[in-house]
Amino acid sequence: MKVLANDGIATSGVVALEKAGFEVILNNVPQEELINFINKNNVDVLLVRSATKVREDLIDACPSLKVIGRGGVGMDNIDVEYARNKGLKVINTPAASSHSVAELVFAHLFGMVRFLHISNQNMPLEGDSKFKELKKSFAKGIELKGKTLGVLGFGRIGQATAKIALGIGMKVIAFDPFIDSAHLELDFFDGQSISFTIDTISKEEVLKQADFITLHVPAQENYVISTKEFEMMNDGVGIVNAARGGVIDEVALIKAIESGKVSNAALDVFENEPKPEIQLLMNNNISLTPHIGAATKEAQNRIGEELASQIIEILK
């Protein structure tokens, strides 16, 4: 049986699949050529990340497909229900990347509160000639310890993010329409652990109370954060989106930054990928990364191994 990992897969996943007798194809086939490639090579399993789209036309045109796999959590680039109604198995890896995304959220948060995303740009240009001026301009940072982190979406990634927040001394509040309470276990290097229970509250209360807000929600029809929600927030709030593009109204975000309602924002995902709006890219109050939440070696190994395990279980 043949597996096409069109957006790549970690070596650990390739090894597991080949050991089980699968042929793994690592070609990166352009979207417009994908149907022909799958049919020509009688591909049984198509693995994608966020770049490749698996829509109804491809599903209908490729009768050899038995499994579609998404290396990651969100599956908005796959017509999941349509595929399942056609008899295909659709799988993902919801747990594998949680900690990597959570660490990226805090990489942004730590950088934002100490202006690292701007000082790292300016120091190479002016560090030798305007050192004192730069020192003065970046000397008004704040600490995260003691601040309140609001988590919108309290599934695996939201909870992983909350654990880091608790570990550095932040208060955590959370909203999730499907979760009333979550038990969090913080594990330490020496085998010790501490338990926390977080009871979720309303979205409105999270927006009103939080000093920083992080989103961990799936793609949906309407914005989760737009003008109305920004108006509820504290002045000077910080916000991070490492979830999905389109859950924050980017036009409203720019206005909220310009008004001072939002002091800093961090975006790993965008409404228009792979061409984010220039107003976002050029704004000094926004910390930017190119959709790399799950892009750590550890997470990719876990994703590859988890996909391989599921495929072997389904087809062998």
Write down the residue that tokens 């720019």 correspond to.
254
Superfamily the domain 98-288 falls into: NAD(P)-binding Rossmann-like Domain (3.40.50.720)
32 is catalytic: no
Question: What confidence score (pLDDT) does residue 316 get?
Answer: 85
Q: 71 is written with which tokens?
A: 């290396």
The residues spanned by each domain of the chain are 2-93+297-315, 98-288
- For 248, residues 6+ apart whose C-beta sits below 8 A from its C-beta are 215, 223, 224, 225, 226, 239, 241, 267
Question: What confidence score (pLDDT) does residue 73 get?
Answer: 85
Query: Which residues are 48's β-sheet partners?
Result: 70
Cα–Cα distances in angstroms (integers) from residue 90 to residues 16, 202, 259, 260, in the given order? 19, 32, 44, 44
Selected catalytic residue, list 117, 216, 244, 302: 244
3-state helix, strand, coil in the chain (%, to 5): 40, 20, 40
The number of beta carbons lying within 10 Å of the beta carbon of residue 79 is: 20
244 is catalytic: yes
Neighbour-count burial for 190-219, b at 16+ CB within 10 Å, e otherwise: eeeeeeeebebeebeebbebbbbbbbbbee
Selected catalytic residue, list 205, 271, 273, 298: 273
Write down the residue that tokens 């300016």 correspond to.
122
Cα 57 to chain centroid distance, Å, stands at 27
3-class DSSP state of 312: helix
291 is catalytic: yes
Question: What confidence score (pLDDT) does residue 16 get?
Answer: 97
Question: What confidence score (pLDDT) does residue 74 get?
Answer: 83
Domains 2-93+297-315 and 98-288 share a fold: yes
- For 246, residues 6+ apart whose C-beta sits below 8 A from its C-beta are 219, 223, 271
Question: What confidence score (pLDDT) does residue 289 get?
Answer: 98
Q: Given CATH 3.40.50.720, say whether it is the number of domain 2-93+297-315.
A: yes
Selected catalytic residue, list 49, 156, 216, 291: 291
Across the chain, which has 316 residues, the per-10-residue mean pLDDT values are 96 97 97 98 96 97 98 91 98 94 98 97 96 96 98 97 98 98 97 97 98 95 97 98 96 98 98 96 97 94 96 95
Question: What confidence score (pLDDT) does residue 94 get?
Answer: 87
Using CA atoms, how far apart are residues 243 and 261, in angstroms rounded to an integer?
22
Using CA atoms, how far apart are residues 90 and 220, in angstroms rounded to an integer?
19
